[in-house]
Amino acid sequence: MRRLRPNFCSAPVVEVARGLLGKLIQHKEVLVRITEVEAYAGSKDSASHARFGLTSRNAVMFGPPGHAYVYLCYGIHHMLNVVAEAEGRGAAVLIRSVELVSGVELVEQRRRQSPSPKWLAGPGKVAEALGLNRSHNGIPMLSPSELGLFDDGRVPRLVAGARVGIDYAKRPDRTRRWRFADANSASVTFERKLTPNRGSR
Q: What is the pLDDT of residues 145-197, one digit of tens each?
A: 999 999 999 999 999 999 999 999 999 999 999 999 999 999 999 888 899 87
Q: Tell whether 201 is covered by a domain.
A: no
Q: Tell whether 177 is covered by a domain.
A: yes
Q: Tell whether 159 is covered by a domain.
A: yes
Q: Tell whether 47 is covered by a domain.
A: yes
pLDDT for the residue 117: 86
Question: Which range of residues forms the domain containing residue 191?
Answer: 2-196
Q: Tell whether 126 is covered by a domain.
A: yes
Q: Tell whether 109 is covered by a domain.
A: yes
Mean pLDDT computed over 109-118:
89
Q: What is the pLDDT of residues 41-84, one digit of tens each?
A: 999 999 999 999 999 999 999 999 999 999 998 778 999 999 99
CATH number of the domain enclosing 180: 3.10.300.10
DSSP readout, the chain? -EEPPTTGGGS-HHHHHHHHTT-EEEETTEEEEEEEEEEEEGGG-TTSGGGG---TTTGGGGS-TTBEEEEEETTTEEEEEEEESSTTS-EEEEEEEEEEEE-HHHHHHHHTS---TTTTBSHHHHHHHHT--GGGTT-BSSSSSSEEEEE------EEEE--SS-TTS-HHHHH---EEEETT-S--S-GGG-EE-----
Q: What is the pLDDT of residues 4-41, one digit of tens each?
A: 999 999 999 999 999 999 999 999 999 999 999 999 99
Q: Tell whether 105 is covered by a domain.
A: yes
The count of domains in the chain is 1
